[in-house]
């Protein structure tokens, strides 16, 4: 699988995953490791069968989409690299790739549930503008109104997750943008709270880490905005792909000597986890710091630059030890913030950790260090084994799809009669 995944990662050196039909087919067959039986839900765009529910997590670097059926069963999950800071055309292009993968996304019965963090990118003057721009783009591509019974207002297949404010139409997002902005963590946590009464959800992605306390079956985070969550430790800008190493530590040990780190974007955490073997090539779709190869040799060269050296000055084993030192420092930083979050909720002192994101291998490591239980989001979601890993990586998109499917079931007339 890893050999094929390397072909996928190399197929587009800009890191735009699944950028052609050939790459998409590779992803379906051997890269994503997901269930690819979505054709059973109605590939015909005029299909009038049970609604497919698509959960969208629109980030600044990736778009993650999950497909669930109307019963809440996850059928397929995928991720595309989408450097939104370079322009909205990347989001437009990704929508097209979603339609290529799942033609039923165009069906009149399809439902689309969206959460986002992409409003933060510096393409936009502020977050309000970012929410409006992303919403407008998706509404244009996904939000065609559906036929409604005579006398009823038109129905849209597109809704945006707004946390405690519920589901919002595209038109309502401009005035309520604060509820929509960066709410993907809350979607994941609210869904997890329906399955785990007491836990700490830790979602480690390519760029950030969310640490979310769940107690008594409720999300008990002390803050809701990015600014507030940075203050409480519930949001940590540490990820396993894009984080520059000068953002992990300013001093580090090499060869028995502790040295200063260069404050330059010479290497990223992807270089560390390529050497440790923990970064799945499927998640390694962003460009390297020097736009160079994503090989172990190239990663060693980039790591060496961080301390003013060349890779040939030490053996490969020495650079592996160096990479593991970076790993330990990043794990310690995340652990410090976990302790900060748990200190506010003593009942969670021994609660299990729920791991999500492409860096959840670090969550499992934290659980071992602290003698806590560990539960993988994919297993918690009851996703089949061959889909569970990808579902855990794209947890917010899975969560928002499942929350939307549950809401649709609750609004069915037969459900209303039973209640």
| CATH number assigned to the domain comprising residue 410 | 3.30.420.40
**Does 7 map to a domain?**
no
Instruction: Verify that 343 and 403 share a domain, yes or no.
Output: no
**Does 202 map to a domain?**
yes
SS3 string of the chain? CHHHHHHHHHCCCCCCCCCCHHHHHHHHHHHCCCCCCHHHHCCCCCCCCCCCEEEEEECCCEEEEEEECCCCCEEEEEEEECCHHHCCHHHHHHHHHHHHHCHHHHCCCCEEEEEECHHHCCCCCCHHHHHHHHHHHHHHHHCCCECCCCCCCCECCEEEECHHHCEECHHHHCCCHHHHCCCHHHHHHHHHCCCCCCEEEEEECCCCEEEEEEECCEECCCCCCHHHHHHHCCEECCCCCCCEHHHCCCEEEECCEEEECCCCCCCEHHHHHHHHCCCCHHHCCCCCCCCCCCCHHHHHHHHHHCCCCCHHHCCHHHHHHHHHHHHHHHHHHHHHHHHHHHHCCHHHCCCCEEEECCCHHHHHHHHHHCCCCEEEHHHHCCCCHHHHHHHHHCHHHHHHHHHHHHHHHHCCHHHHHHC
Q: What is the CATH number of the domain that holds 359?
A: 3.30.420.190
**Residue-level pLDDT at 209:** 98
Instruction: Verify that 136 and 171 share a domain, yes or no.
Output: yes
**Does 27 map to a domain?**
no
**Residue-level pLDDT at 413:** 56
**Does 16 map to a domain?**
no
Instruction: Verify that 220 and 369 share a domain, yes or no.
Output: yes
Largest CA distance in the chain: 77
Both tokens of 141, joined, read: 């591509």
Instruction: Verify that 254 and 304 share a domain, yes or no.
Output: yes
**Residue-level pLDDT at 244:** 98
**Does 10 map to a domain?**
no
Domain count, the chain: 2
Instruction: Verify that 209 and 337 share a domain, yes or no.
Output: yes
Instruction: Verify that 74 and 164 share a domain, yes or no.
Output: yes
**Does 96 map to a domain?**
yes
Instruction: Verify that 290 and 364 share a domain, yes or no.
Output: yes
Instruction: Verify that 372 and 231 share a domain, yes or no.
Output: yes
Instruction: Verify that 175 and 204 share a domain, yes or no.
Output: no
**Structural domain range at position 69:** 32-186+383-418
The answer, as to whether pTM is greater than 0.95, is no
Per-residue pLDDT of the chain (419 residues; tens, 9 = 90+): 233 333 223 323 222 333 333 333 433 333 333 334 334 433 444 443 457 999 999 999 999 999 998 788 899 999 999 999 999 999 999 999 999 999 999 888 899 999 999 999 999 999 999 999 999 999 999 976 444 444 444 457 899 999 999 999 999 999 999 999 999 999 999 999 999 999 999 999 999 999 999 999 999 999 999 999 999 999 999 999 999 999 999 999 999 999 999 999 999 999 999 999 999 999 998 899 999 999 999 999 999 999 999 999 999 999 999 999 999 999 999 999 999 999 999 999 999 999 999 999 999 999 999 999 999 999 999 888 888 899 999 999 999 999 999 888 777 654 444 33
Instruction: Verify that 257 and 375 share a domain, yes or no.
Output: yes
**Does 26 map to a domain?**
no
Instruction: Verify that 180 and 229 share a domain, yes or no.
Output: no
Instruction: Verify that 74 and 107 share a domain, yes or no.
Output: yes
**Does 306 map to a domain?**
yes
């Amino acid at each position: 699988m890893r050999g094929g995944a390397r072909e996928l990662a190399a197929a587009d050196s800009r890191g735009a995953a699944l950028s052609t039909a050939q790459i998409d087919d590779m992803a379906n067959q051997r890269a994503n490791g997901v269930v690819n039986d979505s054709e059973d839900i109605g590939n015909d765009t005029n299909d009038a069968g049970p609604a497919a529910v698509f959960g969208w997590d629109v980030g600044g670097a990736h778009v993650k989409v999950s497909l669930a059926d109307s019963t809440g069963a996850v059928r397929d999950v995928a991720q595309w690299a989408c450097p939104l800071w370079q322009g909205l055309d990347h989001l437009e292009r990704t929508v097209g790739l979603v339609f290529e993968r799942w033609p039923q996304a165009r069906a009149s019965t399809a439902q689309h549930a969206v959460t986002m963090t992409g409003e933060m990118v510096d393409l936009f003057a502020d977050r309000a503008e970012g929410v409006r721009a992303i919403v407008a783009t998706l509404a244009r591509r996904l939000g065609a109104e559906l036929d409604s019974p005579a006398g009823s207002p038109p129905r849209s297949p597109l809704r945006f997750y707004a946390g405690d404010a519920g589901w919002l139409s595209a038109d309502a997002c401009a005035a309520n943008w604060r509820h929509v902005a960066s709410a993907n963590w809350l979607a994941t946590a609210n869904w997890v709270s329906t399955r785990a009464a007491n836990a700490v959800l830790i979602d480690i992605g390519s760029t950030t880490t969310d640490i979310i306390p769940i107690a008594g079956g409720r999300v008990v985070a002390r803050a809701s905005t990015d600014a507030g969550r940075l203050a409480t430790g519930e949001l940590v800008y540490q990820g396993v792909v894009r984080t520059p190493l000068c953002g992990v530590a300013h001093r580090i040990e090499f060869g028995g000597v502790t040295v200063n780190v260069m404050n330059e974007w010479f290497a990223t955490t992807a270089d560390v986890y390529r050497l440790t073997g923990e970064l799945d090539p499927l998640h390694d779709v962003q460009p390297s710091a020097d736009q160079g190869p994503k090989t172990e040799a190239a990663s060693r060269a980039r790591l060496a630059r961080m301390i003013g050296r060349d890779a040939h000055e030490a053996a490969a084993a020495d650079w592996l030890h160096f990479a593991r030192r970076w790993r330990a420092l990043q794990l310690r930083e995340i652990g410090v913030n976990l302790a900060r979050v748990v200190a506010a909720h003593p009942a969670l002192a021994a609660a299990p950790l729920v791991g999500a994101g492409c860096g959840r291998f670090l969550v499992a490591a934290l659980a071992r260090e602290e003698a806590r239980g560990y539960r993988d989001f994919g297993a918690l979601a009851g996703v089949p084994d061959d889909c569970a890993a990808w579902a855990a990586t794209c947890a917010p998109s899975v969560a928002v799809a499942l929350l939307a499917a549950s809401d649709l079931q609750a609004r069915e007339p037969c459900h209303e009669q039973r209640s």
